[in-house]
Amino acid sequence: MTRSLFLFAVLLSLPWLVGGGGFVQSLAAEETDQTDAARRAGFEKNLLPAFRQNCVKCHGQADEVMGDVNLAKLVDQTSLASDPELIQDLIQVIDLGEMPPEDEGELPQKIRGSMLQELRRQLELAVAQQDRLELAEIRRMNRFQYNNAVKDLFQLQSIVFTLPERMMREHGNYFKPASGKMPDDVKVGSRPLGKSQMIEKRLAGVAAFPQDLRAEHGFDNRGDQLSLSPLLMDAFMSLSQSILESPDFKPPNVGIWRDFFAAPESETSIPDELRRRLRPFLTRAFRRAVSDESVNRYVDYATRQINNGISYPQAMKQVAGAVIASPRFLYLYSTSFQPETSGREASTVIQDATADRSADLDLASRLSFFLWGSIPDRELIDLAEAGQLRQPEVLQAQFQRMMSDRKLKRFCDSFPSQWLQLERIISSVPDRDKFPGFYMLKYRHSMHMMLEPLLLFEAVLIENLPLTQLIDSDFTYRSPLLRNAYGGPDGGGKGGGVGVLNFRRQEVTDRREGGVITSLATMTMTSGPERTQPITRGAWVSTVIFNLPPEPPPADVPPLDENPSGEESDLTLRERLAIHRERADCAGCHEKIDPLGFALENFDPIGKWRDTYENGREIDVSGRLFRRHEFSDIVGFKDAILAEKDRFVRGFAGHLLSFALARELGPQDQSDLDRIAAVTIADDYRIQTLIREVIFSRPFLGGVRLSDQRLTTSP
């Protein structure tokens, strides 16, 4: 295979690159049945007086406007509707009780409720006025998806290359989602921190391209983060060559070898046979119907190669190498689905969407990359090409089928570790003198720690448990080493070697444990080498649990002295931090995140329980969540979070929808998040219901809702 195939791959993609349809699709706004008079009346009755009475004192003075928000300029409904981001921010700060400031007194409940109701209505109207909403529907595969897609396309019996970002390696095929039950005993490995964990069946001579980093407060599949430089495009061509020329790319390891690569057993027209093989292969690789012109270009190239004396398998390898280096393979993109919904009945739009094969194929691709991290299988493509995938009962059946497939493990290998930011534990280095036991077996503690929350997530997913189990679970999975690290008996049994670790399901009776927040992994990765970091922990809780990431700190804030002397040596960490955050530009964020972090102070830098600091001072974890729920210990803190479990579910829905759409969410998505959360809450907070509602949401479906009918998720 030669480097000229690089040019071949690009040239074959030119019609796609310059053709109609484009990458970026748009959504037409939903028409509202409210009149202009009603809109003005709602603004003037429920918002304008409240703004003037409670807000413009700080957010409307001519000489100083707090937070760069000037509410005095909002003299009518039109001025508010022109800024949906501002409306979204207003909803958040009023809903969380952040505004007015605490020293200004709280809003009366009646006024607060009417303001929130009216702001949410105004947000929907503001979004509706944006006639065409941008839907970012072009993104490159990240390397996790590329690995899966190549494996599935060729039906490989091995992975393509090693993926350190896959934090948990399965042993013994314990992951069986169709059973609806997670086994009590599982064997797993922690790949990033164990040398022997890098050993698994993969293609020899194939090296991965660089890992794609996570977006800030996002995931590694974000379209706006996945660039394709000329250097990386050249790397993809080299990668495709190394895959097809690997000594392991042979019939026993390639499931489609006989049907695609092997020479035909009977005399037949070479172009006809190539055309028969290439059309379904290209359709699967590019996730959409392929034109005769496109098929013929590949056929002509392969025919010339065979006629020039190249063996049949080698010619097909060259073609396959060009296919997996093509932008049509590397990119997820939408084609011609641009429904004009304004002024039309929803039922008509539904019929149009169902009839549009391109829209169905786009949906098949989004669905497969969301749940399986790979290209759609034959069944999804067939349904999409038949225009049936958008039918609610068909989509429901496909959702259940995909949730029962073992390929769902790829979702578990990608989403939860990024949601929980578990990659941070890899760089956690507790001080060896203070915490020698952490290094007793060289990273063994970290290896075990990171697996506990991942196994809990898998159990909640497979068994379709309430999302609240992620906050305050009554069970967990632990190895003998972890049981000992939590301060209990190791439970007997073997912990496993470096390559394979044995974890067992056990009941959690002490509510100081259980859930992802108080896991050893979270406590360790949000601490420094010598002490805990309450601000980091608070920011983690705010971001991960409530999806409310704080603003980054000012660049000129000095770090806290790790070895205090003099009077500071007798202070608690809370008292020391109070001295260091007296800056006015810091107070607002610290007021929100500090209570979340100090609530976890009883856990030391490696997650062990403590009641006092090294200087003998008692630890004070008391605080108030969202200015509403007071707590004095970690159990009370969990109770406070559970009192706001609806907010947690909506925040989690935001994480999941962003991951599914591979983009940052905006004001146009807020009403859909409300609906996703409401349906999930009504079904006892079950996680599969939330995932299903994400798939049935308007943004995921491409701008339309299929039906208001709720289809029950099977347990």
Q: Are the beta carbons of 416 and 401 closer than 8 angstroms? A: no
Condensed to tens digits (0 to 9), the pLDDT of residues 299-332 reads 999 999 999 999 999 999 999 999 999 999 999 8
Global confidence as pTM: 0.85
Does residue 39 carry a pLDDT above 70?
Answer: no
Q: Are the beta carbons of 219 and 658 closer than 8 angstroms? A: yes
Helix locations, 130-229, DSSP H: 143-154
Task: Determine the distance from the C-alpha atom of residue 165 to the mean position of all C-alpha atoms in its chain, rounded to a whole number.
Answer: 14
Condensed to tens digits (0 to 9), the pLDDT of residues 545-583 reads 999 998 776 665 666 666 666 656 667 777 766 665 665
Average pLDDT (63-72) is: 56
* DSSP symbols for 485-539: HTTS---SS--B-SS-EEEEEEE---TTS-SSTTSHHHHHHTB-SSSB-HHHHHH
Condensed to tens digits (0 to 9), the pLDDT of residues 68-87 reads 665 656 555 555 666 788 88
The more confidently predicted of residues 252 and 224 is 252
Look up residue 119 and give its two tokens. Answer: 């702001």
φ, ψ (nearest 5 deg) of residue 402: -70, -35
What is the reported pLDDT for 85? 80
Does residue 600 carry a pLDDT above 80?
Answer: yes
What is the reported pLDDT for 137? 64
Give the torsion sign (CA, 563, 568, 571, 577).
negative
Look up residue 206 and give its two tokens. Answer: 């194939």
Percent of the chain residues topping a pLDDT of 70: 73
Closest CA to 518 of 604, 646, 436: 604
* DSSP symbols for 272-293: HHHHHHHHHHHHHHHTS---HH
What is the reported pLDDT for 565? 62
Condensed to tens digits (0 to 9), the pLDDT of residues 386-439 reads 999 999 999 999 999 999 999 999 999 999 999 999 999 988 889 988 988 888
Average pLDDT (357-361) is: 85
- Return the H-helix or E-strand segment holding 400: helix 392-404
Confidence of residue 17 (pLDDT cuts 50, 70, 90): very low
Mean pLDDT of the chain: 82
Flag the least confident range among 113-117, 336-340, 516-520, 576-580.
336-340
- Return the H-helix or E-strand segment holding 397: helix 392-404
Does residue 709 carry a pLDDT above 70?
Answer: no
Average pLDDT (108-124) is: 79
Percent of the chain residues topping a pLDDT of 90: 52
Condensed to tens digits (0 to 9), the pLDDT of residues 607-657 reads 999 999 988 999 999 999 988 899 999 999 999 999 999 999 999 999 999
Condensed to tens digits (0 to 9), the pLDDT of residues 250-283 reads 999 999 999 999 999 888 899 999 999 999 999 9
Residue with tokens 């069946």: 201
Q: Are the beta carbons of 572 and 619 closer than 8 angstroms? A: yes
What is the reported pLDDT for 321? 96
What is the reported pLDDT for 466? 98
Average pLDDT (204-222) is: 89
Look up residue 27 and give its two tokens. Answer: 């959504």
Confidence of residue 341 (pLDDT cuts 50, 70, 90): very low
What is the end-to-end Cα distance of the chain in Å, rounded? 50
What is the reported pLDDT for 109? 78
Q: Are the beta carbons of 512 and 518 closer than 8 angstroms? A: yes
What is the reported pLDDT for 713? 42
Give bridge partners of residue 475 from the DSSP assignment: 507
What are the residue boundaries of the structural domains of the chain, listed by start?
A: 4-26+139-162+200-333, 36-129
How far, CA to CA in Å, does 558 sit from each of 208, 538, 580? 40, 19, 8
Look up residue 622 and give its two tokens. Answer: 């008391």
Query: Could you give the CA distance from residue 580 to residue 603 in angstroms, rounded to a whole number?
Result: 22
Average pLDDT (699-707) is: 72
Average pLDDT (357-364) is: 88
Look up residue 223 and give its two tokens. Answer: 């379209």
What is the reported pLDDT for 104? 62
What is the reported pLDDT for 396? 97
Closest CA to 226 of 296, 125, 327, 135: 327
Residue with tokens 């495709």: 240
What is the reported pLDDT for 572? 74
Average pLDDT (123-136) is: 64
Residue with tokens 């759609």: 376
Closest CA to 666 of 357, 57, 356, 224: 224
